[in-house]
């Protein structure tokens, strides 16, 4: 085909129709083949450009997704740390409440024991008073001693009443403290929900 063009360029003389048609057909075939090759090359470049553009877009999206995933992992890690800290605080508060409940139970036990001791002391005082009264009836000479015993019994009864009042006050304080801790425990339980 190149040779046909070169020959035609060197020989401008007209050719017979048949050869001229043949030469034109050869040149057209070559031109068409060149156009097809150019079209294929341009199409390949276009296709490659589209692939590169699509790859770039995909790369950018992957990077953005990766960045988002890292940010979400960081947020999740911070939230997990906060949750662990909150759980630790709640455990500490529950431990305090348990210790206070144990202290309350011990105080109530002590108050109950004090009441029992007071009852026993009152019973002993009642017996001593009864004995003193019986002894005062038996002899007048012993009335003085009975009066002293009655005074001691009265002092003991008064002391027992004071002790009872102190124990009642302690019990009231312990109940108030127990109610405070119960309110605090309910508050913590509601916050955990």
Domain layout of the chain by residue ranges: 2-192
Q: Is the pLDDT of residue 18 over 80?
A: yes
- What per-residue confidence (pLDDT) applies to 143? 62
Q: Is the pLDDT of residue 8 over 90?
A: no
- What per-residue confidence (pLDDT) applies to 126? 85
Is 52 in contact with 27 (CB distance < 8 Å)? no
Give the pLDDT band (50/70/90) at residue 182: confident
Q: Is the pLDDT of residue 105 over 70?
A: yes
Q: Is the pLDDT of residue 68 over 90?
A: yes
List b or e across 81-96, with b for residues whose CB sees 16 or more CB atoms inside 10 angstroms.
eeeeeeeeeeeeeeee
3-state secondary structure of 4: helix
Is 0.85 surpassed by the pTM of this model? Answer: no
């Amino acid at each position: 085909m190149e040779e046909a063009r070169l020959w035609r360029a060197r020989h401008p003389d007209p050719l017979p129709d048949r050869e001229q048609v043949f030469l034109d057909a050869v040149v057209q075939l070559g031109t068409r083949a060149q156009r097809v090759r150019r079209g294929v090359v341009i199409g390949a470049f276009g296709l490659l450009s589209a692939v590169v553009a699509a790859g770039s877009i995909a790369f950018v999206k992957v990077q953005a997704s990766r960045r988002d995933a890292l940010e979400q992992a960081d947020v999740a890690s911070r939230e997990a740390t906060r949750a662990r800290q909150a759980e630790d605080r709640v455990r500490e508060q529950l431990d305090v409440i348990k210790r206070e409940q144990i202290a309350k139970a011990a105080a109530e036990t002590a108050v109950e024991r004090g009441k029992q001791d007071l009852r026993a002391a009152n019973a002993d005082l009642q017996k001593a008073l009864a004995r003193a009264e019986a002894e005062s009836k038996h002899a007048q000479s012993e009335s003085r001693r009975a009066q002293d015993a009655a005074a001691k019994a009265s002092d003991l009864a008064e002391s027992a009443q004071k002790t009872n009042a102190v124990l009642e006050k302690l019990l009231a304080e312990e109940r108030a403290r127990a109610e405070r801790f119960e309110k605090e425990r309910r508050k913590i339980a509601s916050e955990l929900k």
